[in-house]
Amino acid sequence: MGIKISNDSFFERVDKGIKNDFMRQAVSSAQDRLEGRKSAITEEMGDWEDWRELSEEIRQHTLENLDYYLNQFAENVAKQGGHVHFAETPEEANEYITNVAKQKNAKKILKAKSMVSEEIGMNEALEKAGCEVIESDLGEWILQLDDHDPPSHIVVPALHKNKEQIRETFHVKRGYEDTAEPERLAKFAREQLRTEFMQADIGITGCNFAVAESGAISLVTNEGNARLATTIPKTTIAVMGMERIVPTWEELDVLVTMLCRSAVGQKLTSYITGLTPSPGGEGDGPEDFHVVIIDNGRSKILGTKYQSALQCIRCAACINVCPVYRHVGGHSYGSIYPGPIGAVLTPLLEGYDDHKELPYASSLCAACTDACPVKIPLHELLIEHRKDIVEKEKLGTFTEKVMMQGFGYGTSHPSFFKMGGKQVPFLMNIVAEGKDGGGIGPGPIKLWTEIRNLPNSKGDTFRKWFKKRKGGARDGNRDDQRER
Amino acid sequence: MKVSLFITCIGDVVYSSRVGRSVVEVLERAGCEVVFPEKQTCCGQPAFNSGYHKEAKKAAKHFIRTFEHAEAVVAPSGSCAGMVKEYPHLLVDEPSWHDRARKLADKTYEFTQFLVDVLNITDIGAYFPKRVTYHTSCHMTRIMKVTEPPVKLLENVEGITFDTLPYKEQCCGFGGTFSVKMLAISEQMVDDKVKHIVDTKAEVLVGSDLGCLMNIGGRLERLGIDVEVMHIAEVLNQRQETGESVGN
Amino acid sequence: METGTISGKDKFLKRLSNRMGREEAPASVTLPAWSKRPQDKVLEGASQDELVDVLIAHSRAIHTDVVTSTSQDLEKFLQEAVSELGGGPIVCTRDERFSSFGLGNYLKQEEKNGSLHIWEEGSREDNFKIAEKANIGITFSDVTLAESGTVVLFRQEGIGRSVSLLPENYIAIIPKSTLVPRMTQAAKIIRDNQKNGQMPSCINFISGPSNSADIELRLVVGVHGPVKVIYIVVEDA
């Protein structure tokens, strides 16, 4: 699938999102539930801020020594008989993975949820190589059955669908005849997928965190599909973004704690599995263990002002509190990574060409920054993007530039500033060009008043009032003053 | 205590003298001497948030020159005061400015924060027999970390009925340039906010950030919804004697 | 065991090192002393009995029944749990603790009845068939986390991954001495074992039944793994 999920323009996508009543209802109630559960469980801890600081320190330390820890991890995997491949590009990663599939003569591949596999378009590559790829995460399976509808949330991928829609998909694609009750739907999925699992040649999983010291990968899930994918097939391939690593099990403890609480408000998810290569002959589990470590643009972020974006543990806490996401939904972001982290990450991985609106799709309310368990300053990174868009990429429009330069002059020259005029609020003069995103669109005031009134500003400006008052009422008040 | 008032762009022009005079009068009632540095302009936030940091730096330096000798700087908008807190970060590459910025940031306060945390006043002797709800602005809460002061002050207003706004932590959709650049999204956000305000059955929506108030107020009026919008200083400036603002 | 391989590493890591302003990865890195350690304070100093209480309370929240038992009563409680879950077929791990906790006879008898199978390494296909048909899987817990209601299973000889995964229901026997406050202590145990050359190929942290909230965020208990889970906490010395 790749990172980009749509060819529509940003504003077309937003328009579609806003008009999709069901999706909006689903998203807002999901946000309320997820955020409610997270707040409850973090408040109960009492020292959430300490946990956040610790987690930030761990992530920062790991990123600063990423070359060291990746090397240590790879050596430790190989020492135990596993195979590690480092891939700079999606093509390199897919080539390795399809080669493993060919060697194993694999027909059927069972996949657990993995964002990075979406990122590199792995399913398509494997299908081209003649394999059948089956998503085993319930949400991903629903999307796959529904003609590869893109995910709209990184933890709950089919968040934008209701149970009737899901029932319909099951009915059309798999002949399901039962009701739309989630229990029934899930039971049906269990039965269907269990059969598939039993025949799978390879299990492919993501990797929540690799453990450098142990040469282990960890998988954090609730459904049990990642366990199945690493129990039944003879071959396991884990695909991981290169930053998803911790030094030892002790740091894994902290980050898994943060991930489970932030993502779904659980103390621990139902299953957390730590895997190292097995010597084989264990009666189940993989006899062949591969890890593919993927860069795909991440190294360009290392060593820059955006490095903290790599601290991300993919919990979606920022998405669950974002008021913009609430109204436009995941597909509006045009990326498999939606919400605040998506708006930060997508342009870094893919460039500004298709994604230059994303950094502006935020009111900078900072709810994301506050929610982040590893303290990524998300809204500040969005401002950094805006800065690069105008200063480095020169993508700011002419009108905006003229206004901002005028602003710079005006704010440092008080006499000029005052002339900003009182009927036209100065601030309104400053705001950007039209919503069509290019050329000289309608003026900001016109846009403002499309949906709102301007305050009725009869009478003097404050400056004038204050000046007039001097020597008048104020002196009269002086006696009342309590000295402090 | 001598207070240098930073009135902010919206406070100066958009709301005429309505908000500013209440701020001055309440501060005076609290025993402060209020001065207004004439040369003040804008904090630079619109440029900063839009990525025009060269221009934002010009505004910041002018602001520093204008206010750095103040005993305390008080602004009736959490967001603008918050911008001053950004200055040290903005000017990090210019050591001498960075240092001046840091000193200034340390003595810059949002209005209610100044009353409660600096002057230790939680009851200013106001009287306002109306049903109100309060909009917690994002920057004030998350950047300035000011959450308790406005609530404490409002709870101590005599005669007031105070209801917590549902979803109070959610942004109203202002976001400066966001409000026009992402008009369609901003509209959805402010409509949500309006809905929650209406749900409280409040007669008055109170806030501590003029940008948010301009946004919510403008939308309420456009939709013909009869909820008055007031800055917290205006509420605190209502007295029992007349029910009107004092001073003039 | 196959010999491990690493490919594509040098160029990849060199690029990273360069991005970080160095020629190559540092030869060694020492873990810093973290400024905060909130994880150590969770249930700090709690007694085993207090930990049991916490375990029971949280297990309830994750749809898992807990019974506590003396070692004498264990067989009786296990039988009750088995019948509560609808009886055999049962699959259990090949674990010495079954006999040391006095369950040897029970196992033998059930095996004789044909309603219990004890895991063995043998053929994968047979193992899957047996485990999948089993109504109940039974294992011991190696480490038990009170805070999250979690049993931790280390894979060792005789301890198949499938036993706690493929059957419709799952019973974990929890020796009381395995209770620790939270994952922090388990992580330490894993690291210590590793230093002694014991790194299991699979470590499972299991907290209740499998579940999903992928449809309208409504919690469905029992998706790919067991639908119902019972913990039996047993007194041990």
Residue C6 has pLDDT above 70, yes or no: yes
> Is B219 touching A (CB cutoff 8 A)?
yes
Q: How far apart are CA A425 and CA A298, in angstroms?
A: 43
pLDDT of residue A479: 35
Tell me the whole-structure pTM to 2 decimals: 0.93
**Does the interface predicted TM-score (ipTM) exceed 0.90?**
yes
pLDDT band at A411 (very low <50, low <70, confident <90, very high): confident
* CATH number, residue C169: 3.40.50.10420
Q: Give the residue numbers spanning the domain of C101.
A: 45-234
pLDDT band at A8 (very low <50, low <70, confident <90, very high): very high
Of C16, C128, C226, the CB nearest to A232: C128
Q: For the residues B90-107, what does the mean pLDDT come to?
A: 96
Contact status, residue A477 vs residue B31, Cβ threshold 8 Å: no
- Cβ B31–A481 below 8 Å, yes or no? yes
Q: Kindly report, residue by residue over C148-204, the tens digit of the pLDDT.
A: 999 999 999 999 999 999 999 999 999 999 999 999 999 999 999 999 988 899 999
Residue A322 has pLDDT above 80, yes or no: yes
The chain B residue lying nearest A15, using CA atoms, is B184
Q: For the residues B93-104, what does the mean pLDDT come to?
A: 96
Higher local confidence (pLDDT), C199 or B26: B26
Domain count for chain C: 1
- Cβ A283–C119 below 8 Å, yes or no? yes
Of C38, C182, C212, the CB nearest to A138: C212
Residue A233 has pLDDT above 50, yes or no: yes
Of C9, C13, C209, the CB nearest to A270: C209
Tokens in use for B170?
């959610």
> Residue C108 falls within a domain, yes or no?
yes
Q: How far apart are CA B51 and CA A449, in angstroms?
A: 25
Residue A431 has pLDDT above 80, yes or no: no
Strand bridging mode A83-87 / C5-7: parallel
Class of CATH domain B131-236 = alpha beta
- Cβ A474–B28 below 8 Å, yes or no? yes
The chain B residue lying nearest A362, using CA atoms, is B178
Residue A477 has pLDDT above 80, yes or no: no
Of C1, C194, C204, the CB nearest to A273: C204
pLDDT of residue A447: 85
Q: What percent of chain A has pLDDT over 90?
A: 77
User: What backbone phi and psi angles, to 5 degrees, belong to B166?
Assistant: -60, 150
pLDDT of residue C20: 95
pLDDT of residue B37: 94
Residue B232 has pLDDT above 50, yes or no: yes
* Residue extents of the structural domains in chain A: 25-300, 413-468
> Is A80 touching C (CB cutoff 8 A)?
yes
Q: How many CB pairs under 8 A join A and C?
A: 309
Probe site for chain C from A45, A52, A220, A284 (most C CB atoms < 10 A): A284
Cα distance from B150 to chain A (closest Cα, Å)?
19
Question: Closest Cα partner for A88 from A298, A351, A379, A354?
Answer: A298
Q: How far apart are CA A53 and CA A74, in angstroms?
A: 28
- Which residues of chain B does A463 touch, with a Cβ-Cβ cutoff of 8 Å? 7, 12, 36, 38
- Which residues of chain A does B142 touch, with a Cβ-Cβ cutoff of 8 Å? 365-367, 369-370
- Which residues of chain A does C30 touch, with a Cβ-Cβ cutoff of 8 Å? none
Inter-axis angle of helices A249-264 and C183-195, nearest 10: 150
- Which residues of chain C does A249 touch, with a Cβ-Cβ cutoff of 8 Å? 187-188, 190-191, 194
Q: For the residues A320-348, what does the mean pLDDT come to?
A: 97
pLDDT of residue A454: 83
- Which residues of chain C does A190 touch, with a Cβ-Cβ cutoff of 8 Å? 222-224
- Which residues of chain B does A412 touch, with a Cβ-Cβ cutoff of 8 Å? 41, 58-59, 61-62
- Cβ A284–C161 below 8 Å, yes or no? yes
Q: Kindly report, residue by residue over B65-98, the tens digit of the pLDDT.
A: 999 999 999 999 999 999 999 999 999 999 999 9
- Which residues of chain B does A398 touch, with a Cβ-Cβ cutoff of 8 Å? none
Cα distance from C44 to chain A (closest Cα, Å)?
13
C–B contact: 3+ Cβ pairs < 8 A: no
Sign of the torsion formed by the C-alpha atoms of A151, A156, A160 and A163: positive
Q: For the residues A216-245, what does the mean pLDDT come to?
A: 96
- Which residues of chain C does A53 touch, with a Cβ-Cβ cutoff of 8 Å? 35-36
> Is B150 touching A (CB cutoff 8 A)?
no
> Residue C52 falls within a domain, yes or no?
yes
- Cβ A81–C2 below 8 Å, yes or no? yes
Neighbouring chains to A with at least 3 Cβ pairs closer than 8 Å: B, C
The chain A residue lying nearest B228, using CA atoms, is A455
Of C26, C203, C215, the CB nearest to A274: C203
Residue A182 has pLDDT above 60, yes or no: yes
The chain B residue lying nearest A17, using CA atoms, is B185
User: What backbone phi and psi angles, to 5 degrees, belong to B36?
Assistant: -125, 100
Lowest mean pLDDT across A343-347, A370-374, B73-77, B176-180: B176-180
Cα distance from A353 to chain C (closest Cα, Å)?
24
Contact map slice: A 341-400 vs B, CB within 8 A:
360-367, 369-370, 383, 385-391, 396, 400
Question: Closest Cα partner for B3 from A477, A484, A470, A463?
Answer: A484
pLDDT of residue A429: 45
Residue A420 has pLDDT above 70, yes or no: no
Cα distance from A33 to chain C (closest Cα, Å)?
8
- Cβ B188–A473 below 8 Å, yes or no? no
Q: What is the residue-averaged pLDDT of chain C?
A: 95
pLDDT of residue B244: 53
pLDDT of residue C14: 97
- Cβ B31–A328 below 8 Å, yes or no? no
- Cβ B182–A432 below 8 Å, yes or no? no
Probe site for chain C from A49, A104, A261, A271 (most C CB atoms < 10 A): A271
> Is A454 touching B (CB cutoff 8 A)?
yes
Tokens in use for B233?
């200083």
> Is A18 touching B (CB cutoff 8 A)?
yes
> Is B230 touching A (CB cutoff 8 A)?
no
The chain C residue lying nearest A260, using CA atoms, is C148
Q: Kindly report, residue by residue over A129-160, the tens digit of the pLDDT.
A: 999 999 999 999 999 999 999 999 999 999 99
Contact status, residue C128 vs residue C162, Cβ threshold 8 Å: yes
pLDDT band at C91 (very low <50, low <70, confident <90, very high): very high
Contact status, residue A448 vs residue A454, Cβ threshold 8 Å: yes
Of A323, A404, A452, the CB nearest to B52: A404
- Which residues of chain A does B24 touch, with a Cβ-Cβ cutoff of 8 Å? 466
Of B20, B42, B181, the CB nearest to A462: B20
- Which residues of chain C does A273 touch, with a Cβ-Cβ cutoff of 8 Å? 202-205
* Residue extents of the structural domains in chain B: 2-118, 131-236
Residue whose tokens read 């049962």: C90
Lowest mean pLDDT across A415-429, B89-103, B112-126: A415-429
- Which residues of chain A does C39 touch, with a Cβ-Cβ cutoff of 8 Å? 51, 54, 253-254, 257
Q: Which residues, 6+ apart, have CB-to-CB distance to C116 below 8 Å?
A: C88, C89, C90, C91, C92, C107, C110
Q: What is the homologous superfamily of the domain A25-300 according to CATH?
A: NagB/RpiA/CoA transferase-like (3.40.50.10420)
Q: How far apart are CA B61 and CA A443, in angstroms?
A: 29
Cα distance from B183 to chain A (closest Cα, Å)?
7
DSSP, residue by residue, chain C: -PPPEEESHHHHHHHHHHHTTSSS--S--PPP--S--GGGGTTTT--HHHHHHHHHHHHHHTTEEEEEE-TTTHHHHHHHHHHHTT---EEE---THHHHTT-HHHHHHHHHTT-EEE--SS-HHHHHHHHHH-SEEEEE-SEEETTTTEEEEE--TT--SGGGTSSSEEEEEEEGGGEESSHHHHHHHHHHHHHTT---SEEEEE-SS-EE-TTTT--EE-SSS-SEEEEEEE---
Work out the number of other CB atoms within 10 angstroms of the CB of residue B69.
9
User: What backbone phi and psi angles, to 5 degrees, belong to A6?
Assistant: -155, 150
pLDDT of residue A439: 34
Probe site for chain B from A18, A427, A450, A477 (most B CB atoms < 10 A): A427
> Is B240 touching A (CB cutoff 8 A)?
no
- Cβ A412–B187 below 8 Å, yes or no? no
Q: How far apart are CA B124 and CA B88, in angstroms?
A: 33
> Residue C102 falls within a domain, yes or no?
yes
Residue A480 has pLDDT above 50, yes or no: no
Residue A265 has pLDDT above 70, yes or no: yes
